[in-house]
Amino acid sequence: MQYEPDATLIALRPVKGQAPVVVAQLGQTLDGRIATVSGASKYISGREALKHLHRLRASVDAVLVGVGTVVADDPQLTVRLV
């Protein structure tokens, strides 16, 4: 079975009367790191993961990040790559 990210996004649509849908995204390297040795963490998981993240952002009502992400990466939190 092959992972189909767009099919997954369709399944994430909330159903009226049910609990909200919460989606989490974490970028990490193959060895489990979330930043390089120098501390750089922006775009660590690659171009395809970034495009998938933007598809996720386009399908949700809000985006939450921690203060550490804001300080380290200065994220734009917009949808740009869809």
Answer yes or no: are the C-beta atoms of 23 and 60 closer than 8 Å.
yes
Domain that holds residue 42: 5-12+22-73
**Residue pair 27/42 in contact by the 8 Å Cβ criterion:** no
* 17 belongs to a structural domain: no
Q: Render pLDDT for 20-49 as a digit per residue (tens, 0 to 9).
A: 778 888 778 888 888 888 877 777 777 888
Q: Kindly state whether residue 78 falls inside one of the protein's structural domains.
A: no
In this prediction the pTM is 0.62
- Is the pLDDT at 58 greater than 60? The verdict is yes
